[in-house]
Chain A
Amino acid sequence: KAGVTQTPRYLIKTRGQQVTLSCSPISGHRSVSWYQQTPGQGLQFLFEYFSETQRNKGNFPGRFSGRQFSNSRSEMNVSTLELGDSALYLCASSRDLYEQYFGPGTRLTVT
């Protein structure tokens, strides 16, 4: 069974730009969650989508948004990038309220 895939794997952007990251969950998984990982703050929950609806949201500014498509694939968008947005962005999928499996992540560098 294929795992969670994320694209792109690496991204370099400049301040003020916006970025879109993509996540394809494990087949049959309807829940997709996004996390940000930084050395200083660790792993922090961004939001979760289930059946195309945002079910939970973390404490991040409105510049961070996401959506989920009917095939459960998900995208997250960060607008007006700041230097502090440099991080590893991780997507995790699960069937519902079960174990979450992470993708390889997208390493975002903002210069």
Chain B
Amino acid sequence: QKEVEQNSGPLSVPEGAIASLNCTYSDRGSQSFFWYRQYSGKSPELIMSIYSNGDKEDGRFTAQLNKASQYVSLLIRDSQPSDSATYLCAVNWARGGATNKLIFGTGTLLAVQP
């Protein structure tokens, strides 16, 4: 089992729709969860962080965390063509204590169709 798993996609959604990106992780001790957006040829850009169970909203983005199910998701409302990118789920590696070591999923490629 991979430590952080994401569907590689591509996930294709029409402009204006809701894009739903999912991620599961294996380390039950993880406490910090992040979503990064990476455009082709660029470095990852942090778009959301979540630490507690439930939902966290920031503009068009909502992160959802369920530690019991070891599941974290990202919803993008009113998707725009400019949202087309690879979305990386990252989880802090907590074995041995809290760390800044992030384990990344392979990323989900999102394509928003105009």
Chain A positions within 8 Å of B, measured between CB atoms, are 31, 33, 35, 42-45, 48, 50, 55-56, 58, 88, 90, 92, 94, 96-105
Contacts and interface: CB of A to CB of B under 8 A. Distances in A.
In this complex, which of B44, B99, B107 has the most chain A Cβ atoms within 10 angstroms of its Cβ?
B44
A92 B46 CA distance: 11
The CB with the most chain A CB atoms within 10 A, among B42, B43, B92, B103, is that of B43
B102 interface: yes
A105 B88 contact: no
A50 to B, nearest CB: 7
A96 B32 CA distance: 12
Contacts, number: 60
B45 interface: yes
A90 B38 CA distance: 12
Interface in B1-60: 32, 34, 36, 42-46, 49
Contact of A101 (B42, B46, B101): B46
25 contacts: A31-B100, A33-B101, A33-B102, A35-B102, A42-B106, A43-B88, A43-B102, A43-B104, A45-B102, A48-B101, A50-B100, A55-B99, A55-B100, A56-B100, A58-B101, A88-B43, A92-B102, A97-B92, A97-B99, A98-B49, A100-B100, A102-B43, A102-B45, A102-B46, A103-B43
Chain A at the B interface: SS class: strand
Interface residues of B, number: 23
Contacts of A43: 44, 88, 90, 102, 104
A16 B32 CA distance: 39
